[in-house]
């Protein structure tokens, strides 16, 4: 008997599992079209390898990930690529994303497959490669690429491999039925994963409300060292962190992953996918999906091709369109509602609930929190949900973070028990989103500040250099003046005529010498190294008339726009008049500044042929 630990909190929602366990897993068949999102997991979206009109075979790779984390997508059946474009995908926001649409030809013709009988002869990395190219991603929750998960970094030795068959959410029975009917494949997949990881302990955790599944697995694991741990039914014991606590007594450190404590969790369905990839050479193109809810006539579990639209499945299960009020993808505790039945089944879709209004009624209106603490009693992460709610509502995000908001797994146990029917989880999602946004903005602001500071420094440096040059010029001029004066005095003393021309030529000579010196400096320090702050910058200070003219036109256009807006606002008696007036005044200034700058530039350029000569190429 495996030693079990308990986790604090948890709830016991009505299970409703018998709805979908009455029938064996049925094959859903091939719908008239399959919609395959290019992103079905965490990581990078795949890129299409096929183009419109291509004929593809069942199991053929049709999209792959060239860089970053991700797995390829395969054709679930043979057919024609009918479209590549944006279609609704399973997402809480109801968004559309890039998908490949496949028109099945009905032949269901396989591409060539390479089954492996003895994977042990291969290198472990080769087996990981097979799992990767079969497109296997976690089929329980987020859909993490399985090959990456199976290759933890060297310092994280996995001692305990856990197969998660707890399936604690009400209604869902996909894993239950998989374990009952495909126990051998589950165990085969587990063995492959165990061979890759070499753990000391392999344990399958099953809630005690699935005795048939536990019995089937006991039989399939006979003669192996794999433990079957039957754990008490309590939501959310199938949460990775909770299951690890139940089976090992250890806790995953906050912000860490199970591998940090030498544990890894894999889903039952993932094990089957691994077994199929290795022993049959079959990529992940189908999965078991629970179709349940009181609005279905024949609920049950279906073996579904990925990409099958939800509508097709609902029809298979005998949907009563007049009865259904809420359509949920996932379980009733953590799943999200669908807005359309056009979304396809993807690698992580485990359950579709077509619920009637009386089955899952809308919650009563939110009341005031009476600090009853039921939420804290129910929280499996030992958080203080009520304080988190308080801080989230008051937008005191720092305090919410201080109370470990980011440890919330959004299991919904707190909302489930709240007597004031406060949608607590929604408040946490909101707070998390706001904090992430603030962090991103903080990062952006930091970068902008750095850039601004660098620019300030550059401007200061340039100003200093300009001053330096001006001083030098003034000094030279003073010297020349002094010389001229001395010469004049000398000449006067000598009674000779003042040689004005001689003095002038001396000045020119001086200017040339300066010029030469600066050119040499420029040669030593090429202009593409502006960070050399101490050396004089050779760049000419010629004002760019064209740029200034452009600036002026832009400023004028903007001023006109603002004036037009102001007039509009005045006509409509809008309340932002003062703002617009300020903006117009600002733009007036801007135009004036631009004009001044332009005039100044023109004036500067005209009487300074010397400056222009500097821009000429130097031989």
Binding other proteins by CB under 8 A: which of 44, 377, 487, 542?
377
Interacting span for other proteins (CB under 8 A) from 66-74, 209-217, 415-423, 463-471: 415-423
372 binds other proteins (CB under 8 A): yes
Task: Establish if 90 lies at the interface with other proteins (CB under 8 A).
Answer: no
Among 312, 391, 397, 416, which residue interacts with other proteins (rule: CB under 8 A)? 416
Least Å from the CB of residue 311 to other proteins: 10
Distance CA(253)–CA(343), nearest Å, equals 36
Residue from 339, 553, 557, 608 in contact with other proteins (CB under 8 A)? 339
Site for other proteins in 26-55 (CB under 8 A): none
For residue 366, state whether it binds other proteins (rule: CB under 8 A): no
**DSSP labels, 80-122:** EEEEEEEEE-S-TT--EEEEEEEEE-S---B------S-GGGS
The rounded radius of gyration (Å) of the Cα atoms in the chain is 37
Q: State which H helix or E strand residue 551 sits in.
A: helix 545-572
The secondary structure of 593-604 as a DSSP string is HHHHHHHHHHHH
CB 99, CB 38: distance < 8 Å = yes
CB 19, min distance to other proteins, A? 14
Backbone angles phi, psi at 56, to 5 degrees: -120, 155
* Minimum distance from residue 417 beta carbon to other proteins (Å): 6
**Residue 441 Cβ vs other proteins, minimum distance, rounded to whole Å:** 21
Contact 380, 404 (CB under 8 A): no
CA distance 62 to 55: 10
* Identified binder of other proteins from the candidate list 371, 475, 592, 602, rule CB under 8 A: 371
CA dist., res. 324 & res. 386, Å (int):
33
Q: Measured from the CB atom, is 388 or 591 closer to other proteins?
A: 388
Helix axis angle for 268-275 and 183-197, nearest 10°, is 80
- Residue 510's H or E segment, with its range, is helix 500-524
- Interacting residue with other proteins among 80, 215, 403, 507 (CB under 8 A): 403
Minimum distance from residue 10 beta carbon to other proteins (Å): 12
The packing angle between helices 124-133 and 183-197, to 10°, is 130
Smallest distance, other proteins to C-beta of residue 36, A: 24
CB 47 within 8 A of CB 65: yes
Please report where in the chains the tokens 């390479």 appear, as a residue: 114
Shortest distance, CB of residue 571 to other proteins, whole angstroms?
Answer: 37
CA angle 14, 19, 21 (to 5 degrees): 110
Of positions 352, 418, 552, 591, contacts other proteins by CB under 8 A: 418
By CB under 8 A, tell whether 433 contacts other proteins: no
C-alpha span between 289 and 354 (Å, rounded): 13
13 near other proteins, judged by CB under 8 A: yes
CB of 17 to other proteins, least distance (A): 13
Residue in 148, 336, 507, 598 binding other proteins, rule: CB under 8 A: 336
| Distance in angstroms (rounded) separating the CA atoms of residues 457 and 446 | 16
Q: Which is nearer to other proteins, 110 or 390 (CB)?
A: 390
Q: Which residue has the tokens 């630990």?
A: 5
The DSSP symbol for 11 reads B
Give the number of other Cβ atoms within 10 Å of residue 508's Cβ: 10
- In this structure, what are the phi and psi dihedrals at residue 363, rounded to the nearest 5 degrees? -70, 150
Binding other proteins (rule: CB under 8 A), the pick from 208, 219, 315, 382 is 382
Positive or negative, the Cα torsion across 381, 383, 386, 389? Answer: negative
* Rounded least distance, CB 20 to other proteins, Å: 16
Closer by beta carbon to other proteins, 282 or else 374: 374
Q: Please report how close the Cβ of residue 545 comes to other proteins at its closest, in angstroms.
A: 56
Q: Which is nearer to other proteins, 129 or 419 (CB)?
A: 419
Choose between 5 and 452: whose C-beta lies nearer to other proteins.
Answer: 5
Q: Which of 33, 133, 426, 595 binds other proteins (CB under 8 A)?
A: 426
Site for other proteins in 125-144 (CB under 8 A): none
By C-beta, is 65 or 379 nearer to other proteins?
A: 379
Q: Which of 141, 423, 536, 538 binds other proteins (CB under 8 A)?
A: 423
Shortest Cβ 156–other proteins spacing (Å): 16
- 416 torsion bin: left (phi>0), alpha (psi -120 to 50), beta (else): alpha
In this complex, which beta carbon is closest to other proteins, that of residue 161 or of residue 388? Answer: 388
Binding residues for other proteins restricted to 240-299, rule: CB under 8 A: 241, 245, 251-256
Instruction: Tell me whether residue 48 or residue 143 sits nearer to other proteins (CB atom).
Output: 143
Describe the chain by its helix, strand, coil percentages, rounded to 5. 45, 15, 40
Q: How many residues bind other proteins (CB under 8 A)?
A: 73
- Among 158-166, 297-305, 374-382, 522-530, the segment contacting other proteins (CB under 8 A): 374-382
* Cβ neighbour number for residue 459 with a 10 Å cutoff: 10
Task: Choose between 337 and 556: whose C-beta lies nearer to other proteins.
Answer: 337
Q: Residue 16 or residue 61: which is nearer to other proteins going by CB?
A: 16
The Cα 49–Cα 56 span in angstroms is: 11
Coil/strand/helix, residue 141: coil
* 164-203 binders of other proteins (CB under 8 A): 170
- 373 in contact with other proteins (CB under 8 A): yes
Distance CA 274, CA 271 (A): 5
Say if residue 207 is preceded by a cis peptide, omega within 30 of 0: no
Under the criterion CB under 8 A, does residue 438 sit at the interface with other proteins?
Answer: no
- Binds other proteins (CB under 8 A): choice among 214, 226, 338, 345: 338
Residue 360 contacts other proteins per CB under 8 A: yes
**CB-nearer residue toward other proteins: 169 or 175:** 169
The reply on whether position 4 binds other proteins by CB under 8 A is no
Residue 175 Cβ vs other proteins, minimum distance, rounded to whole Å:
19
Tokens (6 digits) for 223 = 């003669």
CB nearer to other proteins: give 368 or 571: 368
The CA–CA distances, whole Å, from 120 to 158, 426, 512 equal 19, 48, 83
């Amino acid at each position: 008997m495996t030693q079990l630990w308990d986790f604090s909190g948890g709830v016991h929602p009505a299970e409703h599992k018998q709805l979908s366990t009455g029938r064996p897993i049925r094959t859903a068949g091939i719908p008239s079209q399959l919609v395959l999102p290019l992103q079905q997991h965490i990581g990078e979206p795949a890129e299409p390898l096929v183009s419109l009109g291509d004929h593809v075979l069942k199991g053929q790779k049709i999209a792959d990930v060239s860089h970053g984390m991700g797995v390829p997508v395969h054709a679930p059946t043979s057919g024609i690529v009918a479209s590549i474009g944006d279609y609704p995908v399973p997402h809480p926001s109801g968004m559309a994303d890039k998908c490949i649409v496949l028109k099945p030809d009905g032949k269901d013709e396989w591409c060539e497959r390479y089954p492996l009988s003895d994977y042990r002869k291969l290198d472990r990395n080769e087996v990981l490669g097979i799992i990767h190219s079969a497109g296997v991603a976690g089929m329980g929750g987020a859909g993490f690429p399985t090959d990456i998960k199976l290759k933890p970094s060297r310092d994280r030795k996995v001692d305990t491999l856990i197969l998660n068959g707890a399936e604690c959410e009400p209604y869902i029975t996909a894993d239950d039925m998989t374990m009952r009917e495909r126990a051998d494949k589950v165990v085969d997949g587990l063995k492959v994963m165990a061979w890759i990881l070499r753990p000391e302990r392999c344990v399958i955790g099953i809630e005690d409300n699935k005795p048939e599944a536990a019995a089937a697995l006991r039989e399939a694991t006979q003669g192996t060292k794999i433990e079957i741990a039957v754990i008490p039914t309590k939501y959310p014991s199938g949460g990775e962190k909770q299951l690890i606590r139940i089976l090992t007594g250890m806790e995953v450190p906050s912000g860490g992953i199970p591998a940090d404590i030498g544990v890894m969790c894999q889903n039952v369905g993932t094990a089957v996918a691994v077994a199929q990839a290795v022993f049959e050479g079959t990529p992940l193109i189908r999965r078991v999906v629970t179709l349940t809810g009181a609005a279905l006539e024949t609920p049950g579990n279906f073996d579904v091709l990925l990409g099958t639209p939800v509508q097709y499945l609902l029809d298979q299960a005998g949907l009563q369109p007049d009865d259904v009020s809420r359509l949920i993808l996932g379980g009733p505790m953590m799943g999200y509602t669908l807005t359309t039945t056009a979304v396809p089944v993807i690698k992580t879709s485990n359950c579709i609930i077509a619920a009637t209004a009386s089955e899952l009624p809308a919650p009563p209106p939110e009341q005031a929190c009476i600090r009853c603490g039921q939420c804290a009693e129910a929280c499996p992460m030992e958080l203080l949900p009520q304080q988190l709610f308080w801080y989230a509502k008051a937008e005191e995000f720092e305090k919410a973070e201080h109370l470990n908001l980011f440890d919330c797994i959004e299991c919904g146990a707190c909302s489930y028990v709240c007597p004031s029917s406060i949608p607590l989880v929604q408040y946490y999602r909101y707070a998390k989103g706001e904090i992430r946004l603030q962090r991103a903005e903080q990062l952006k602001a930091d970068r902008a500040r750095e850039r601004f500071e660098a620019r300030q420094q550059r401007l200061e440096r340039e100003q200093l250099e300009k001053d330096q040059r001006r001083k030098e010029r003034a000094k030279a001029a003073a010297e020349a003046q002094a010389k001229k004066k001395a010469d004049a005095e000398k000449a006067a003393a000598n009674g000779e005529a003042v040689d004005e021309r001689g003095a002038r030529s001396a000045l020119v000579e001086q200017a040339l010498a300066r010029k030469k010196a600066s050119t040499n400096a420029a040669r030593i320090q090429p202009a593409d190294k502006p960070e050399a702050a101490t050396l004089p910058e050779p760049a000419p200070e010629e004002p760019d008339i064209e740029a200034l003219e452009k600036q002026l036109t832009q400023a004028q256009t903007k001023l006109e726009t603002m004036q037009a807006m102001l007039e509009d606002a005045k006509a409509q008696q809008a309340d932002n008049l003062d703002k617009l007036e300020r903006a117009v005044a600002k733009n007036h200034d801007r135009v004036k500044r631009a004009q001044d700058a332009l005039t100044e530039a023109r004036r500067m350029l005209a009487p300074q042929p010397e400056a222009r000569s500097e821009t000429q190429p130097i031989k």
